[in-house]
Chain A
């Protein structure tokens, strides 16, 4: 047995024979030709054929729901229309008496070189697109059939590198896993491998031609491949693979299923996200909406104060990408542990109890208005909820709404279309939870931020490990505040969700549902497991019970569970 290391892209295990995938290497003749018009015709025919193929790959990927990879092929097809850099230079070279193959190699390599010398990583990576197009052009000009490169048996494919159009053309039913010597974790192949969930190893420098046909196991968990593995490795990893498969099947079955208890109580399962890049994960994990879009990324990713336009684009992208699902965007929550240089915030003795979130926004209304205007403009493109964080008093909510309305009037006067939206607040301070009745009169929804609510209720700094013996994620005071907030919300027709870590805690799902929670917002990966929990709950057994009997008076005992840190930050 031999073991080789690489960089994993996807967890998971592939077991089977190795097939070395080698793209053809063409001998390009330097001999001159005489029929220039005929050669230009050959070039044009090949160009149109490759363009047609790229458009077909675009359609195929769109139909499969892979918008990201589809975009690659759409751009490829457009590049092939480029007169200045590709078409004219090729025709000029042919005009000098060279073959179409020679012209394609020269012109495309030159274009790829231009990109590879650029400063920006995104543009540098485009040289791979041009090389991909060059190879496709040469395949057509040489009349090569590339469909047999993969072999006819299911195999772990081993290659130097794979171009996007090669990766997409692979027969998925014959692909067990993928190993390449080159590649980066941002390459198209890596993106595709992730979206298809193929066990994949890149930068495996030791790949060798004599692996071809050998039995191997690709172990994504340990970022390695075993060539001719020992029996104990085979047994262990076969069992692990079977277990993965069973778990995955269970979860996949839950896609498209309603999030409803056995006795018919529905709950909305939304996702927590950090930016437009997470839209895909929301869709893939079948979340019904977004319960918490942390808008901090627009502030944290920028060196200067982000403009209204920059924010608008980010919000619009998410709203449009997820419509008609609801997307709740939390307004700026910087301060405390999230500081930003350009904000020039003073250093505080006690930042968790300091100048943060809505407190900054209400003190700096111009800063706040830029975000609110961006949100209102984006509201026309989807189903928006606007949520204000760190509320303790009713006047803050009234003031936030006043500023929002001011922005709305301004935009309407400018002739900007504004869609419908809901307004909500985070309940993450004991003050807000205890005043939930008054606050509910002002808003459409509440969202319980259980991480801060726990830290503020128990006076336990969530960063401090020495407090662990005192911490209890299920502290009855916190659970009571959650329950009372839900009840207060419902008294005023305000729906109530939970967007903190407790929302995903399987040991609390039943309690939350029993108390009437309307929505749980969790990280995208937790959506399907949580749906599984919800569908196993049966609330009918509580119908005869009196509400008092449910309280568990364990407040005098030391916490039984492993502390709050492990659970909150695992």
Chain B
């Protein structure tokens, strides 16, 4: 019997199976941010164990609230900053170099096919786009990861998604993953890896694959995983060219993590995207989705472009393509948070920032921002946001506020019309 990608990664990283069904794995990369790490650091200090297993395998960033907004968030940033300095963690990203963790760390080439990755952040599943096993964990798992470089998992089963067809105009990776979550439900992949296959995925950029894998957790998934291919190698090439004689050699090496054709799956789900249309959520759960065409007269107060789901350059290009030469409706506020300084700079050089500003958008620094309502862009009670983020829980962006999840194109079209709008007429 062949193996899935996750099974291969588990086998290669197995430290031991202390009890049947529980596997302790060696971690390749431990990612940290300033919200969930400081309490782990404090606890390690309190236990007299203020150590890190390997500073070169730990990457840290201040991204959720930056620049700090008050004494508490300044303290969280300081704890992370002091700890990174104390332990010689070279890959620490502070103000001026910081951005949304799940956009910044891949941009730096830190995640490779076959890696095991944990972070105290549920959207860590994003990194599975590189053919890695990447899982969000709590602070205690993170703490043990920092101290010992291991993490325990139940061996997850895998759901295989065969995604076929060319994406129609105005339909993107975000629509695909919202469609999948709508189909299987918010609990549909709990304790499962979501392994994505098919020509639609093969044709996607790494940015789109990250959007896809980012929302695996919204179906309960442990990790999203895409198969490593030449697109993966091309993305990583600036970082790996010293390790391989050629791209073909890198591909040959990375392909060993690809799922075997005879692997055993918990479920196989076929998705044909040919008839897909732009999608938006309509309720307070990510599986409550409709075609935008079926959501007429849904006014919004705020548009948010950004986040680890859709704050990358490709997303900004798509949204700018819709907004070019247009003004957003006077009834809405538009906020753009480019996900990293590099993305911000490239958007500036390409003239995208001009387009957003002329349309009436406010541009913030790279940060998680409005997505989870803990820094800027918070909604007032009863307000509604059309957002490119990943979670629409009640109150997520501010108490009493409502969030509709959608692609950057749909959010941009909605900005123009002041209500949820179909982007296809602007493309």
Tell me whether A and B are bound partners.
Answer: no
Chain A residues engaging chain B, CB cutoff 8 angstroms: none
Chain B residues engaging chain A, CB cutoff 8 angstroms: none
